[in-house]
């Protein structure tokens, strides 16, 4: 019984502490507008590009999801490729995120377009497993489109040897 009371007291204290540190309000001096000041919370600055209604720089609370950021930007365009967006990915500071555009076909002339293909398409490539496919998509989302096929070597874990194995099977 003592343990239960102790746990309840800790939870009550934690809850009260969180509420006190989250919001405080004050009034402006002359015009009585109420200002909300958020304390003890970190924010992230994000450069959001691509297929959102309002691409721009956004400031969002640390720990927010990509879904929340997209909502701040007015949502997705009709051209957005929702299949290649991880809506629950957590936002970190100083990211550039590019929402990809749908393409009618991710495989052209039997080559996989690394700018808009899905994870499943990448897994077809020799030497590309789940981790490398995720790395390619993450790199693409953070840095934008690949200018040429050699740019894939900028992705962590893809060196000259692996590039030589896949270069005849990819395109941009």
Q: Is residue 11 part of a domain?
A: no
Residue 1 pLDDT class (50, 70, 90 cuts):
low
Q: Is residue 133 part of a domain?
A: yes
- The pLDDT score that the predictor gives to residue 120 is 87
Q: Find the radius of gyration of the CA atoms of the chain.
A: 22
The two structure tokens encoding residue 146:
């690949």
Q: Are residues 110 and 166 in the same domain?
A: yes
Residue 23 above 90 pLDDT? no
Task: Write down the pTM of the prediction.
Answer: 0.41
Parent domain of 115: 103-172
- The pLDDT score that the predictor gives to residue 109 is 62
Count up the domains in the chain and report the number: 2
Domain boundary among 75, 102, 129: 102
* Strand boundaries in the chain, DSSP class E: 23-27, 34-38, 43-50, 56-61, 95-99, 107-108, 111-113, 170-171
What is the phi/psi pair of residue 111, to 5°? Answer: -115, 145
CATH code: domain of residue 115:
1.10.150.320
Distance (Å, whole) CA 111 – CA 71: 34
Give the H or E element holding residue 165.
Answer: helix 160-166
Q: Are residues 51 and 89 in the same domain?
A: yes
Q: Is residue 90 part of a domain?
A: yes
Residue 83 pLDDT class (50, 70, 90 cuts):
confident
Q: Is residue 132 part of a domain?
A: yes
Domain boundary among 79, 102, 125: 102
Q: Are residues 108 and 98 in the same domain?
A: no
Residue range 41-49: average pLDDT? 88
Distance (Å, whole) CA 113 – CA 166: 12
The two structure tokens encoding residue 60:
């969002």
* Strand boundaries in 114-171, DSSP class E: 170-171
Q: Is residue 146 part of a domain?
A: yes
């Amino acid at each position: 019984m003592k343990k239960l009371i102790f746990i309840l007291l800790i939870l009550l204290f934690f809850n009260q502490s969180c509420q006190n540190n989250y919001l405080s309000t004050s009034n402006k001096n002359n015009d009585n507008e109420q200002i909300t000041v958020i304390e003890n919370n970190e924010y992230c600055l994000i450069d959001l590009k691509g297929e959102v209604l309002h691409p721009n720089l956004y400031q969002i609370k640390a720990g927010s999801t990509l879904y929340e950021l997209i909502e701040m930007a007015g949502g997705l365009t009709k051209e957005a490729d929702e299949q290649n967006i991880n809506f629950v990915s957590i936002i970190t500071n100083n990211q550039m995120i590019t929402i990809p555009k749908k393409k009618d076909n991710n495989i052209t002339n039997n080559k996989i377009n690394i700018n808009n293909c899905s994870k499943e398409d990448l897994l077809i490539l020799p030497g590309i497993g789940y981790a490398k496919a995720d790395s390619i998509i993450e790199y693409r989302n953070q840095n934008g489109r690949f200018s040429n096929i050699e740019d894939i070597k900028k992705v962590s874990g893809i060196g000259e040897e692996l590039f030589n194995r896949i270069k005849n099977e990819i395109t941009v």
